[in-house]
Amino acid sequence: MKRIGVLTSGGDAPGMNAAIRAVVRKSIFMGREVFGIHRGYLGLINGEIKKMNLGSVADIIHRGGTILLTARCEEFKTEEGQQKAIDNLRKYGIEGLIVIGGDGSFRGALDLGKRGFPVIGVPGTIDNDIPCTDYSIGFDTAINTVIEIINKIRDTATSHERTFVIEVMGRDSGWIALESGLAGGAESILVPEVKFNIEQICDKLLKGYRRGKLHSIIIVAEGAARGFDIGEAIKERTGFETRVTVLGHIQRGGTPTAMDRILASRLGAKAVDLLIQGERNKMVGIKGKDIVAIDLDKVLSEKKEFDFNIYELANTLSI
Ligand code: F6P
C-alpha cells in the first residue's frame, strides 16, 4: 500500500488533530504518501483531496476541532455517493482510508469496506459511545471542560444557595454525565441508561437542605431528559430557587487534554500500521493499556457498555 487517505467525519472532537498528525507522520515515516480528504464523506464525493506532508500537520497537536473539516453527508448513504467516493479515491491512487469519527462515520466506512475498499476506523467522539474501546478521542477533554464549568457554577450556586441543573451532551449515551458528575461531585446524575425518579431526586435534595447544604448540582445527560424540564420539576416539588445551564457545543471545543493527545497519537499510528499490514475493515481502540483492533462489523453490531459500578459509586458518594 503506497498511498493512504485520511478524513474526519461527524461531530468534531478535541484530539482529532492529534490523530490526523499521527496518521500523516506515521505514514511518511513508513515511506508512504498520505492524502487528506476535506469535509468528510462530502469532500470525498466532491473530490476535495490534497496531498499532505510533515509541515501540513505542524503546530496542530494542541488544537481542538479538525484541520480537515468535517460534515454530515446524506448523499454518501446512497450507492451512487459511495461509488463516486471510491472513484475519487482510485483517481488519486489511494489504496486505504482511515476514518476518524463516531459510529455514523464507521457505518460509512464499512459501506466502503464492503465494496472492497480497505478502511480503518479511529474512534473520535466526545460521547464515548463507541463499543469495543474503553475511550474515544475527545471524551477526556469534554469531561474536563464540564468539570471546569461545574466548579464555576458551584461558586455562584453556593453564594445564592441555589439548585443548579446542568445539561450535558452525549446523544443517547450517559458517559459524559456519568464521569463529569462523579468528578464534579454532583448530587444526582441523570443518564439514559438508568430510569430516574424525580420524587427520589427531590427527596435527596430536601434531605441535604435539612442537613444545611447550601447548594446542589444535578447533571442531566441530554439523552435522559431536558435540563429545563428537570429544573421546573424540582422547583415545583421543592420550592428551591433553581437555575438551568445547557452546556451545548462548548463541550466540543478547546485544547485537547494530554490523555486525548496521547490516545489520538497511539490510535492514529496503529491505524496506519494495520493498513500497511494488509488489515481492513477494523477499528482501533484502547482496552486497558493496550491498543487493539476489532472488526468494524462487530463494533457496529454492539452497544457501548455503561459502567453501572461508577454510577453506583457516584450515588454512594453523593448521599
Ligand atoms: O456526537 C457529538 C455530539 O456533540 C452529541 O453529543 C450531540 O448530541 C450532537 O453531536 C450535536 O450535533 P450537532 O453538532 O450536529 O448539533
DSSP 57-112: GTT-TT--S-TT-----SGGGSHHHHHHHHHHHHHTT--EEEEEE-HHHHHHHHHH
277 and 133 co-located in one domain: yes
Residue 214 confidence (pLDDT) above 90: no
Question: Looking at ligand 1, which residue's alpha carbon is closest to its atom 7?
Answer: 171
Q: How far apart are CA 151 and CA 173, in angstroms?
A: 23
Residue 33 lies in a domain: yes
Q: How confident is the model at residue 319 (pLDDT cuts 50, 70, 90)?
A: confident
Active-site position among 111, 127, 129, 260: 127
Is 121 known as a binding-site position?
no
24 and 118 co-located in one domain: yes
- Residue 97 makes CB contacts below 8 A (sequence gap 6+) with 4, 5, 6, 7, 37, 89, 109, 112, 117, 118, 119, 120
Of 274, 295, 262, give the one whose Cα is nearest residue 98. Answer: 274
Region 2-25 average pLDDT: 98
> Which residue range is the domain that position 148 belongs to?
140-252
| CA 229–ligand 1 middle distance (angstroms) | 20
100 and 176 co-located in one domain: no
14 and 122 co-located in one domain: yes
- CA 319 to chain CA centroid, Å, is 30
203 and 274 co-located in one domain: no
Region 248-277 average pLDDT: 98
The helix (H) or strand (E) run that includes residue 114 is: helix 103-114
Residue 307 lies in a domain: no
The helix (H) or strand (E) run that includes residue 167 is: strand 163-168
Residue 318 lies in a domain: no
Whichever domain contains 227, its CATH number is: 3.40.50.460
Tell me the best of 127, 175, 178 to mutate to test the pocket of ligand 1, counting ligand atoms within 8 Å of each CB and taking the most.
127
The secondary structure of the chain in percent helix, strand, coil, rounded to multiples of 5, reads 45, 20, 35
Q: How confident is the model at residue 11 (pLDDT cuts 50, 70, 90)?
A: very high
List ligand 1's pocket residues with C-beta within 6 A.
Answer: 11, 102, 125-127, 169-171, 222, 252
Residue 287 confidence (pLDDT) above 90: yes
Is 222 known as a binding-site position?
yes
Residue 308 lies in a domain: no
Torsion of CA 160, 163, 165, 166, to 10 degrees: 40
- Sheet hosting strand 33-37, strand order edge to edge: 49-52, 33-37, 3-8, 96-101, 119-123, 282-287, 290-295
Sort 194 into a burial class: Cβ within 10 Å, 0-12 / 13-18 / 19+. middle
Taking residue 40's Cβ as centre, other Cβ atoms within 10 Å add up to: 26
Residue 134 confidence (pLDDT) above 90: yes
| CA 171–ligand 1 middle distance (angstroms) | 7
151 and 56 co-located in one domain: no
pLDDT digits (tens, 9 = 90+) for 142-177: 999 999 999 999 999 999 999 999 999 999 999 999
Average pLDDT, the chain: 97
Q: How far apart are CA 166 and CA 144, in angstroms?
A: 14
pLDDT digits (tens, 9 = 90+) for 77-129: 999 999 999 999 999 999 999 999 999 999 999 999 999 999 999 999 999 99
**Residue-level pLDDT at 192:** 98
Residue 91 lies in a domain: yes
Q: How far apart are CA 41 and CA 30, in angstroms?
A: 26
Q: How many domains does the chain have?
A: 2
**Which backbone phi and psi does 172 adopt, to 5 degrees?**
-90, 10
178 and 157 co-located in one domain: yes
7 and 117 co-located in one domain: yes
Whether 40 contacts 70, CB under 8 Å: yes
Residue 246 confidence (pLDDT) above 90: yes
Residue 208 lies in a domain: yes
Is 249 known as a binding-site position?
yes
Assembly ipTM = 0.99
DSSP string of 195-257, one letter each residue? ---HHHHHHHHHHHHHTT---EEEEEETTT--HHHHHHHHHHHH---EEEEE-GGGGG-SPPP
- Residue 59 makes CB contacts below 8 A (sequence gap 6+) with none
Residue 109 lies in a domain: yes
Share of residues in the chain with pLDDT > 70 (%): 100
Residue 315 lies in a domain: no
**Residue-level pLDDT at 260:** 98
Tell me the best of 126, 171, 226 to mutate to test the pocket of ligand 1, counting ligand atoms within 8 Å of each CB and taking the most.
171
Q: How confident is the model at residue 308 (pLDDT cuts 50, 70, 90)?
A: very high
9 and 149 co-located in one domain: no
77 and 212 co-located in one domain: no
12 assigned to active site: no
Check residue 186 and report its DSSP letter.
Answer: -
Tell me the best of 70, 107, 126 to mutate to test the pocket of ligand 1, counting ligand atoms within 8 Å of each CB and taking the most.
126
pLDDT digits (tens, 9 = 90+) for 45-57: 999 999 999 999 9
107 and 229 co-located in one domain: no
Is 93 known as a binding-site position?
no
41 and 118 co-located in one domain: yes
Residue 72 confidence (pLDDT) above 90: no
| CA 238–ligand 1 middle distance (angstroms) | 32
Whichever domain contains 86, its CATH number is: 3.40.50.450
